[in-house]
Amino acid sequence: MKLYTTRATPFGRTVEIVAHELGLHEDLDIVETIVAPMKDNPAYQQITPMRKIPALIIEDGTLIVDSPVIAEYLAARVGDTRLFAKSSPDHWKVLSRYAIARGIAEASVAARYEFAARPEAFRWQGWVDDQFDRITAALGVFEKDPPAATGAITIADIALGTALGYLDFRFPDYGWRDRFPALAAWVKPVEARPSFAATRPPI
């Protein structure tokens, strides 16, 4: 399988962590791929028209996007759907928390693009503030109901961990650890997992 991704994206990192947790990482041929709004990339757009990362191409040539679909595909490929709590009464809660964690990462990337991709004259602080208002509200939800410290890790936990890692990477001044101490305590052993340790964003 060919995985187009980069460690700088929380969505690609989530997929790589899922592959590690499933024992599939060795089967991924990773193609380092940089995308940014406004940056033409006609070769990559031939692979996936929205030019988003990650994207997976499997052996028969089928394109699999985007990150939640890739994660679910990898789990189905090895027949191990525990990450998705498939047979648990918490299944829909896990999927919804996964969506909220992804929302945190999406808002963080949107805030970053405002300053990293947009010409200075058109940058709008109000947009960034709005993204962080959402991020703070969502992290507040997780802080009040943090993931279990023990037991099986879920796809929601992985996505929350990579979203927090992205905030560390791009917005160290946001100081989420001081605002959300229960999450700061929870993430410590998560970050120490081999899957997380092997996929840290570049410095």
Binding site for a second copy (CB under 8 A): 37-38, 45, 48-52, 58, 62-66, 68-69, 72-73, 92-93, 95-96, 99-100, 103-104, 107, 118-119, 122-124, 126-127, 130, 134, 137-138, 140-141
Instruction: State the nearest-atom distance from the C-beta of 82 to a second copy, in Å.
Output: 18
CB 109 within 8 A of CB 132: no
Provide the 8-state DSSP code for 146: P
- Residue closer to a second copy (CB basis): 27 or 66: 66
Residue 121 carries which side chain, given as an amino acid letter?
Answer: A
Cα angle 153, 155, 159; round to 5: 105
Instruction: State the nearest-atom distance from the C-beta of 47 to a second copy, in Å.
Output: 11
- Residue closer to a second copy (CB basis): 155 or 196: 155
Query: Helix %, strand %, coil % for the chain, to 5?
Result: 60, 5, 35
Instruction: State the nearest-atom distance from the C-beta of 134 to a second copy, in Å.
Output: 5
- Pairing between β-strand 55-57 and β-strand 2-5 as defined by DSSP bridges: antiparallel
- Residue closer to a second copy (CB basis): 89 or 151: 89
Instruction: State the nearest-atom distance from the C-beta of 28 to a second copy, in Å.
Output: 16
Q: Which two tokens stand for residue 141?
A: 């939800």
- Residue closer to a second copy (CB basis): 176 or 196: 176
The residue to which tokens 């899957």 are assigned: 195
Instruction: State the nearest-atom distance from the C-beta of 194 to a second copy, in Å.
Output: 27
Say whether 64 sits in a helix, a strand or coil.
strand
- Residue closer to a second copy (CB basis): 6 or 136: 136
The residue to which tokens 């988003």 are assigned: 52
